[in-house]
Structure 1
Amino acid sequence: MKKIMVLIGVLGLILMIALSAAAQSTTMIGGSIRFAPGATSQVISGRLDGGVAVRYEFYAAANQSATITLNSDTNAAVLGVKTLKGQVLLSLDARSATFGMPLPVSGGYELLVYNPGQMATNFSFLLSIPPISTKPGQTAIPANPYYPVPGSWQYRLGGTIQFAKGETMTEIAGTSAGGTCTRYDFYAGNDYLLLATVSSDNNRVNLGLSDNTGTLYVSNANQFGTIRQILSKATKYNLDVCNPDAAATGFRLTFVIPVRVRFAPNTNSAQLAGAVRANGVVSYTAYASAGQTMTVRLQSGTTQPNAFLRISGIDDGVVYQDHTAKLTNWSGVLPRRQDYLIEVVSFQQATNYSLSIQIY
């Protein structure tokens, strides 16, 4: 077993170094990490006795995204990160070997590598801090969800995002000071889809996504104003709204997590029910393959429909049926394998509805 663990650790180190061929490699037990001129990353290696931690320092500017990946022979070594003023960004108690997030302040940071095991271990980590991009905001995805006319913006600077009962979307407005990030957190399950879009007065505010273990999914350095991300585990996630400009600016964040449609074993359809507010939208996602047929039926209101269907593709961004057609049924042969976004859109009044989805 020991030989297997050592082999796994060595393979991990080889893979990490191969992936970071441009990074400078240094053996160093503690001290200040400084990149070579023009470099944005460095591989540091060393050896730790059991129950011992080694301390490094590095320096970065606010909003730069730092990512750290640690490997060790025993797979036991973990990371801790905090500012030199004591703000904890990743606790050793999290027992994480990865870290990634936009850094909150300009200045020094403390990086700890700790071996909680009894056996000594060799370790190696890659620290990467790319420069802040000056590219204009861009869309990362072709997904094309419908967002209703703003009328229910909540003014909120950070905190936990929670949907009202039965809803799948929230709209948040705020003001972002120059050179800062505003962090929102939310809980989501495995295989759920996140759709988040930010707009701002200066056209520069962008989004970043990480989770509470320090895993970075989307860096603010990419300058994305839109995120589409399949969430890979049930945990708490962090959504950072960042303003790279020097001056403060207003922003508006639309945040959607559709309900994932799942069929019971040996069936090809689902019956769903809910309520949608006036001028609101409730979103669902269903996964299907090319050549399959999807049929969707919506019922609402007593004498005439109060809600209508909008069907679009997540990967291709194609709108197969728009809600403005005011139709309540749709059926078609699906052109590609992807998630399909099924939206229930109301107009003048709130309504209860029932929704039937069949894929065969």
Structure 2
Amino acid sequence: MCCVSKFSCKSNRVAQMFSRLKVGLPLILFSLLLLSCSGETVAPTRPIIPDALPQITLNPPTPIIATRPGETLMTPMPVCTPPACAINEDYFCSGECPNGCGIICVTPTVGDVIKDDEQPSVTNTAVSQPPTATNTPQPPQPIQIEFAPGATGASVPGSVVQGTTQRYILRAMAGQQMNVQLTGDLADLALAVIGQGGSVFQSQMSGLTNWQGNLPATQDYYLDVVGNASRNFTLNVTVTALPAPTATIDLSPERIQFLPGTTSATRPGTLGPGQSKTLALNAATGQLMEFVLTSAAAPINITMTYPGTTLFHEGVLNQSTNQYRTTGMYTLPLTGDYAFLLTNVGTAVTEYTITYSITDNTASGTTPTRVQFLPGSTSATLSGAISQISGDQAYVLTAVSGQIMNIQLLAATTPLFVTIADANGVLLAQQSGIYRQDLEKFETALALTLPASGDYIITLALIGAAPLPTEFDITFTIQ
């Protein structure tokens, strides 16, 4: 482009520049006049973009927040993920722990309390990793201790894994003396003795491995072997037999007489704490005798004696009726008198009622049902019903000497009495049913080490009056 004059060329360049900036014509003319008067050459300029923001380059991995001119760059607050605590640890913050930073894992001790304001507060954090799974030893199953017939003790070999407790259960009676001793490698082992009701006779904190004491109540006793290391050991337990009753049969005991044509008789009475009373009745060999005593305020134990034999019967609280019951049922081995010493073993005066029933087994026509196991099986379950009309139910089972017979009977509406006798009718074991709240049924359970090979008779009988038939399931197990 050809300029007519120096003034026109300068004017064209300035006009082009300001047209790009979109400035008004009056301002352009005023600028041209100033330039022409000064005689200076206008240098080329680059376009100016109003309010342009500075270019900021982010340098990973450190994040920087871009700001507008005149503002201060802000670095984000750090965010911490608390560590994964073990199963026996808790989170702990010694002071302020913003965004989770400063939280540690600690092992609480007895008496430690973490206050609400000390609980870790974590905001805007990533999901924390779950605690690492640990191989915590599973607690072993409790072991029931059974003495051999006629024995007063047992030695049970056992083992315990570090960090676990092996529990043994032994039922014993009030007034007996128990002696427990561990033998073997006893380093880092401890023995605890606890009553069924929660009474602690010896704590594991004692570090002792033996205990001896008089038992205050008839109940299950828990013998816990606590292992701070894995060890093999032998648990030796002895329980002295109850002393023979010091009271003898009264010179003039109250004699039980049945009215003509009847097979039962009931006697009421009252006994104070520690007091005793003796009853006597006459029966014949082979007859089936049953007695049921109920008392309201205290348990009454019964000692049954006949020539050469003394049998103990314990008063037990029946939770369904909230009364104490003492029961027994026998096929009588002799013809003659049988004496019964009733003793109040509680701490309160109590009234009682005892009922005797005697029936002739040969006239009853009861034929035992033979129990058969399927091939390869060690147990069998049978169902039935029992009532006052049907009478007792009997089963016969063949087993071998030294085997253990376990019986569990579950009755729907009333407790049942179970006896085990040999083929000659000699009583070997007996048990009354008790109510099980977890099962909502009455359970009768027995376990017996069989003294000889042959047939064994198991008899089921009602305890007291039952207006309706009682359905039951009975399971026989031979080991």
TM-score by shorter chain over 0.5: no
If you compute each CA radius of gyration, which structure gives the higher value, 1 or 2? Answer: 2
Structure with more of its chain in strand, by fraction = 1
TM-score, normalised on structure 2? 0.23
Higher RCO (C-alpha 8 Å, min separation 6) = 1
TM-score, normalised on structure 1? 0.30
